[in-house]
Structure 1
Amino acid sequence: MKKIVIILAALLTVTGTGLSAPVNDLDKGQTAAGIGNNTFYLEHKLADNFTLGLQNVNWDQRNNMDNIYGQLQLANNFRGIIGSNDVDSNAKVYVGMAINGPIAPEWEGYTSLIAGKEFKELQVGANFKITYNADINFTYHTYMPDEGENKSGVGIGATLKF
């Protein structure tokens, strides 16, 4: 177990692409806090079908991006997403969707796609349940701005639910 924690910490340190928050299944009143490559986030399920989230992404230790988003549970494994990047006068509203489901014992797979006026973002990943309230997240993420360079890569993170 100690070797796994050391390897995960090393991977979090050396992989360079930031990633969006993973898709989490929460119970009403439950909160998720997570870290990943250059990002941290908090989510809270306010109602049976609505989750509110806050996220900070630090691309390449230069450009911070703060997100606020909501997820509306439309079906058991399908949700709509609406949010805003850079919560200030330059805010960029986006919409999207996510789907998730079991792929093996203790594994939950997910994919999400969001798009705004100036960007698109795709994420495909899996959460591995290590305890009843802790997951390790593995993901492929690509952020595609209309202008500038795409940012893509694989990442790893951890989520604690309470």
Structure 2
Amino acid sequence: MKKTAFVLAAVMLAGASFASAAPIHQLANHETSIGVGTKDSYIEHKVTGKATIGAAYADRDEYGDQKDAYLQYDVVGSEVKLIGGYRWDMGGEKNNAFGGVALSTPKVFGFDAYASYIAGKDFNETQVGINKDILLNVGLNVNYHNFKPRHGGHHENAVGVGLNVRF
């Protein structure tokens, strides 16, 4: 089953040239989540009981193809997380370290909601969304994100939809 999930996730990522940070998940220890969304893709793995590492790709309308590497650290259960990371390719020579926080609800009937905020020197980004388990280890994400560059340019606001596979 794990091989099937991994192959499906790899195919989903390979086909994605999809703009937001990765959705917030409540992963079990040593669980991996791979997902694609309207204009983004990501992979993350919970390496310890509290730490999750990840990488994300976002296709911004005006700001190119941004890439993130990040760490989420659970502060209160899996519901309150601190986030730190680095974002490349923000246009021009702009690359930024960023930090933030995420809050999520416990799962009820396979649903959990979340909100996250991250900020770097040249941007800030807010995301709110809902995750829903739809099949064994496959989930659906619906979110709204707001990306704000600090030095000119347009804000990017959008609703996104995505699928993820956990294994």
Is TM-score (shorter-chain normalized) higher than 0.5?
yes
Any conservation in 1 of the 2:56–2:69 contact (CA below 8 Å)? yes
Say which structure is richer in strand: 1
Cα pair 1:19 1:37 within 8 Å, conserved: no
Q: How many angstroms apart in 2 are the aligned matches of 1:119 and 1:18? A: 14
Q: With structure 1 as the length reference, what TM-score do the two structures score?
A: 0.84
Q: Distance in 2 between matches of 1:61 and 1:87?
A: 12
2:82 aligns to what? 80
1:149 match: 154
In the TM superposition, residue 106 of structure 1 has moved relative to its aligned partner by 1.5
Q: Is the 8 A contact 1:79 1:99 kept in 2?
A: yes
Q: Is the 8 A contact 1:122 1:142 kept in 2?
A: yes
Root mean square deviation, CA, Å = 2.2
Matched, 1:132 2:123: no
Following the alignment from structure 1 to structure 2, what is the Cα–Cα distance between the partners of residues 103 and 75?
A: 15
Percent identity between the two aligned chains:
29
Structure 1 stretches of 4+ moved >4 Å: 87-90
| Matched pairs, number | 147
- Structure 2 CA distance for aligned equivalents of residues 59 and 87 of structure 1: 10
Is there any run of 5+ residues in structure 1 with no aligned partner, and where?
Answer: 1-12
In structure 2, C-alpha distance between the alignment counterparts of 1:128 and 1:114, rounded to whole Å: 23
Asked if 1:65 is matched to 2:66, the reply is: yes
Q: Distance in 1 between matches of 2:60 and 2:128?
A: 19
Q: Pick closer, same or farther for the CA change 1:37–1:99 going to 2, 3 Å.
A: same
